[in-house]
Amino acid sequence: MKFIKFLILGIVFGIVMAKSEAISWFRIQEMFRFQAFHMYGIIGTAVTLGVIGVALIKKFKIRDFHGNPISFYPKEKSIIRYLLGGIIFGLGWALSGACPGPMVVNIGYGFLTMTIVFLFAIVGTYLYGLIKDKLPH
Amino acid sequence: MRELITQTWSWWFSGAMIAGIMFFLLYFGQSFGFSSNLRTICAAAGAGKKTKFFDFKWKTQIWNLVFLVGAIIGGFIAKQFMSTDLPVQISTDTISDLAKLGIAAPASLQPAELFSLDAILSVKGFLVLAMGGLMVGFGSRYAGGCTSGHAISGLSDLQVPSLIAVVGFFIGGLAMTFLILPLIF
């Protein structure tokens, strides 16, 4: 039962992604062509509220429901892995019109061919794990 | 009242809900990052026996797999009970740009040219979806996160690596949109 809260959050996430149309290939194309504010509004609102909330959590040392401090770990410093990894991700995002979350929301929505995208995303992650040590990080 | 649910949800409400989900996950002692699930699935399938990258305590990540299952259910609920099935209302500029690529104006949320059964039964159609997924899966792990982990969680914590990753997302996305898509379609 300790997982039910994550199931509910996942359901809410799926509904929001679908109802905001962020799972639509058309919306991603519209975003990368800078022809509408919609996607920028969604991400911008989330990040603006996120920045304020994270700052408040740090300032007031807010604890989680276990009573542990909520901590944020700085990601390791590098440029090449974030830039190269990000570019590869972006190429795939604009081609398939879906990042990992929206892939599975699409499957639930009934676009079952998105299963191919999701399965190959798993394969892509596996390939990364295989050749990780040979890549610049 | 019912229209408020069935119409496209506004960007500000949707964005606020996503921030809310991120804060609930933090409150529950976790963090918002969806692509980690791809690594967890590899590990759960036994990839850790041969590859060190997948040799970790994946069972600590079950909460995120449960979140993933929830996301599938959420998509189903949205379609079955909260949708009018109207085509996605994208900008007319986008519609005419896509028409030049041979992709018709939206009839639903997704283009039939990419996601219909007919499309994936052709070699090209299958490769488009397979390569798209492959690059998302490879790139998200190489960059250490996807839209949720970097663009939402990382930027909210003002992390420079996440900003670099998001710049990368856009370089790749713009290159695909303006340079490569015209070659494919």
- What is the reported pLDDT for A2? 87
Inter-chain CB proximity A116 and B133 less than 8 Å:
yes
Inter-chain CB proximity B25 and A9 less than 8 Å:
yes
SS3 A69: strand
- Can you give the residue ranges of every domain in chain B? 1-83
Q: Is the reported ipTM for this assembly greater than 0.90? A: yes
Confidence of residue A13 (pLDDT cuts 50, 70, 90): very high
- For the segment B150-159, the average pLDDT, to the nearest whole number, is 96
B115 touches chain A (CB under 8 A): yes
CA distance to A125, B25, B26, B154, B164, per residue, from A59 (Å): 36, 19, 15, 18, 26
CA distance to A57, A85, B28, B130, B178, per residue, from A100 (Å): 27, 15, 22, 13, 23
Nearest 5°: the CA angle B74, B78, B84 is 175
- What is the reported pLDDT for B182? 97
How many Cα atoms within 13 Å fall on the side-chain side of residue B183?
A: 6
B182 touches chain A (CB under 8 A): no
- For the segment B48-72, the average pLDDT, to the nearest whole number, is 97
pLDDT tens digit sequence for A64-118: 999 999 999 889 999 999 999 999 999 999 999 999 999 999 999 999 999 999 9
Report the residue of B82, B140, B184 to disrupt the A interface, i.e. the one with the largest count of A CBs within 10 Å: B140
A34 touches chain B (CB under 8 A): no
| Rg of the Cα atoms in chain B | 19
Confidence of residue B84 (pLDDT cuts 50, 70, 90): confident
Distance from C-alpha of A79 to C-alpha of A28, rounded to nearest angstrom: 25
